[in-house]
Every structure is written in C-alpha cells, then in structure tokens.
Amino acid sequence: MGDPMTDHHIYGSVTVNTKWQIIIPKEARDALWIKAWDKLLVTSKWTFAIWLIKASNVKEFIEKVQLNID
C-alpha cells in the first residue's frame, strides 16, 4: 500500500437514504481503518465534493496539506 496522502482511490458509490445517511464501502473502511463510532469530519470543496476525514487524523491531514502547499 502506498502513501494514502498521495494515492487516490475510488471505492465505489453510496446512496443517501431518507434519514440522510450513507454507508461507507467496506473496502474504504478496511483501507482507512474506520470502525463503528469513529468520528468523521465532513468538509466540502467547491460545490460538488464532500470529504470525510477521521477526526483523529485531522491534525496529520492539515500538516500533509501544508507540506504539499509549500
């Protein structure tokens, strides 16, 4: 497995149900070590993209983004 900050993966599609919930594909949960009751930060880019970031990894995510900007 490569660097998750430089590798891009498409894990499939999800459907928003009538309770506004989605199911994260198993392959994505396994690859990103997401388990029940993990907190995810929901953020957006432009008007058509949503990112889900594990709350426990937000600091690391911001540091990686800053390194790529510099």
Residue 8 has pLDDT above 80, yes or no: no
pLDDT at 49: 82
pLDDT at 33: 93
SS3 for 52?
A: strand
Over the chain, what is the mean pLDDT? Answer: 85
- Give yes or no for a contact between 49 and 34, defined as CB atoms under 8 angstroms apart: no
Summarize the confidence of residues 10-26 as an average pLDDT.
93
CA distances from 22 to 6, 25, 58, 62, 69 (A): 25, 9, 21, 25, 31
Residue 4 has pLDDT above 60, yes or no: no
Q: Which domains does the chain have, with CATH numbers?
A: 1-70 (2.10.260)
- Give yes or no for a contact between 28 and 40, defined as CB atoms under 8 angstroms apart: no
